[in-house]
Structure 1
């Protein structure tokens, strides 16, 4: 029994980043669990439902909204650590072992930062330590399943996510979602939740021809941003306005406007 953790949606220009933690014995997982990129969408959804329905498995999902991603007080690497830590905290028992898909070029640095936030010694960044529970509440919202305690929300200041008692052993590896079954399970959960959020975002803009995947390289996403900015003069709330893609679309729209004079 150990915890696997991974995230989805670190790079898109639209929608939230989602981190998921799964606490399980690999023997209790579906036989075909795998890196979410190698699992068909319908099967991902079925695996997610199976994991949440098993009494021996704990699942937690942490959400970082675009407004938090755009905050000048933090950065994407730190938010990845914060989201993974919040999810881990929601499923962890004392002395648990954690395997994470590393969200940093340095596996060791990511593991150290993740452990610091899980046990309550991390801050908003490497140079300014502060109470991890406070930092997590500011940037991350969490839902959890499989504990004998009520769901907690990191967005609720009256219900901080407590650090697990004792120590936690954290290992981070690049590609852990492809070679570790519990991390793979976490990657599936994160992807399913991220896809659900993107479907909801798509439905919120019926006047446009879809929002696409949310990635800057997706032509549908680019067309949506260009059309929305042309209509409203600004990017939608679902966009990460600090991304260069948004800056490019806003600048192009302003230039087109100047050309009308």
Structure 2
């Protein structure tokens, strides 16, 4: 499959929409931690080589690209908390994070390229959704790299306080080690209580204690 390119951005720029931001989020699937979004405005003359969907890159490559992007691009990172995920739902929370990331840019973009097929509620700038956008647009690919690496680092930091779940390796996803940690040590303040596996543990605990 071909690598992402600058064609979506070029089309927008030809329409006079010069500040084009790519937006992506990471962290919908984990049982713990925030959902994180990034918005990235690339300089067409300084696009780092090798940008792609963050899931297709090695950890070492993501690290290198993250450092490059922080130097040559305009980057904004935002999150929605576990409490917000539980209060709304994961889709709404991920959209909240996306809007926050866009609003966090130095100035409003002329156009936003959004990974997926839904425009976040509350977005007031010109935008378009691109299914599998992180593999098609370099700006979205850049956002996917930034969001993933930031969230991974955040989960490594949380793992220092809660080492029993293996978040430094699984980033909060439901691996065997994470599930074992939940069974042995219960639910932490960083777990998403609205997610079924966590809800079930809490509910079972309630029945046993009642």
TM-score range, shorter chain: 0.7 to 0.9
Specify every segment of 5 or more residues in structure 1 that has no aligned partner in the other structure, as ranges: 120-167, 230-234
Distance in 2 between the 1:209 and 1:10 partners? 18
User: Residue 145 of structure 2 is aligned with which of 188, 194, 209?
Assistant: 188
In structure 1, the residue matched to 2:58 is 40
Whichever structure has more helix as a proportion of its residues is 2
User: Residue 190 of structure 2 is aligned with which of 218, 238, 241?
Assistant: 238
Deviations 1:37-93 (A, max 9, x none): 011111111111111112xx210001111111111xx22222222211111122264
Deviations 1:91-148 (A, max 9, x none): 264561110002xxxx2xx22xx3x5232xxxxxxxxxxxxxxxxxxxxxxxxxxxxx
Q: CA RMSD in A?
A: 2.0
Distance in 2 between the 1:237 and 1:199 partners? 16
User: Residue 175 of structure 1 is aligned with which of 93, 118, 132?
Assistant: 132
Distance in 2 between the 1:89 and 1:68 partners? 18
In structure 1, the residue matched to 2:10 is none
Residues 1-150 of structure 1 correspond to what in structure 2 (within 5 A)?
A: 1-54=19-72, 57-71=73-87, 74-91=88-105, 93=107, 96-102=110-116, 107=117, 110-111=118-119, 114=120, 117-119=122-124
SS of the equivalent of 1:45 reads helix
Deviations 1:162-205 (A, max 9, x none): xxxxxx32001210011110100000000001100110121112
SS of the equivalent of 1:184 reads helix
